[in-house]
Amino acid sequence: MEISVVIHTLNSEKLIRQCLESVKDFDEIIICDMHSTDNTLAIAGEYGCTIVMHEPTNGIPEPARTFAVEQATKDWVLVVDSDEVVKPGLKTYLYDFINAGESPDALWIARNNYFMGRFMHAAFPDYQLRFFRRSSFVTWPVTIHSRPKINGSSGKAPRKKALAFDHLEDGSISNLVSKINRYSDREVERRNDEKVNIAELLLKPAYRFLQLYLFKGGFLDGRAGLIHATFKAYYQYMTLAKMTEDKQINPV
């Protein structure tokens, strides 16, 4: 059996070479590009990728992901973001998995997240549903943090750093603030039927911080771990605050 790797890109030149270097030995690589204006496509061409184009989606990747998966020609599909690296151990595990006989139709894969140059203990294993039989794929719903719809069963890869994606750094603090603002807007759209009370505004962000910094080991990562947990709590607060604002301006 063979594996197609699909990657959606938009001005991804900063990290795409590291990504492609890690997947170059798979059977097929499909780049679904949303009209990049940097060197993304030139770099993809160096690796012999099949390039398909998709109209820009205003920061919403799911339509491009669905389209990219539909272009795959191999038995199995591995969806990789342009800022992710597939570790050698993971590649070996995936081929062993599909050639082992009876196996689930999809596989959750852990992800190693990095911030300020450090591995984030609090963000592991961060399982992602990214590997599946092409024939079992239905669609990728257009909601934030969605998972693909699969017609079949799923399993989990072992919780090991060597069998995980490496998710490279999010970038500067300024970029992270901008990302939180965009993502929280999409959270409001997804959760527009929910109401938020004062207790939730006070307690949920605080619990999120304690969960990441204390219970999941963020304190092991020094200042980076403290900042990471604080921003995750801030994201929680921003989402709840925007949901509250939306309900007050647009009451049902």
Q: What is the pTM of this model?
A: 0.91
- Residue at which a domain ends, from 112, 140, 167: 167
- Residue at which a domain ends, from 117, 134, 167: 167
pLDDT of residue 247: 87
- Residue at which a domain ends, from 134, 167, 200: 167
Specify the number of domains making up the chain. 2
As a whole number of angstroms, the distance between CA 225 and CA 160 comes to 20
pLDDT > 70? residue 201? yes
Q: Do residues 33 and 72 share a domain? A: yes
Please write down the HEC assignment for all residues of 135-174. Answer: HHEEECCCCCCCCCEECCCEEECCCCHHHCEEECCCCCHH
Q: Do residues 117 and 190 share a domain? A: no
- Give the tens place of pLDDT for each residue, 86-132: 999 999 999 999 998 778 999 999 999 999 989 999 999 999 999 99
- Give the tens place of pLDDT for each residue, 202-252: 999 999 999 999 999 999 999 999 999 999 999 999 999 999 998 888 776
Q: Do residues 160 and 223 share a domain? A: no
* Contact (Cβ atoms closer than 8 angstroms) between residue 10 and residue 83: no
Which pair of tokens denotes residue 232? 């995750």
pLDDT of residue 252: 64
Q: Do residues 156 and 83 share a domain? A: yes
Domain boundaries, position 220: 173-249
Across the range 146-163, mean pLDDT stands at 95
Amino acid at 29: I
Q: Do residues 239 and 136 share a domain? A: no
Across the range 50-68, mean pLDDT stands at 90
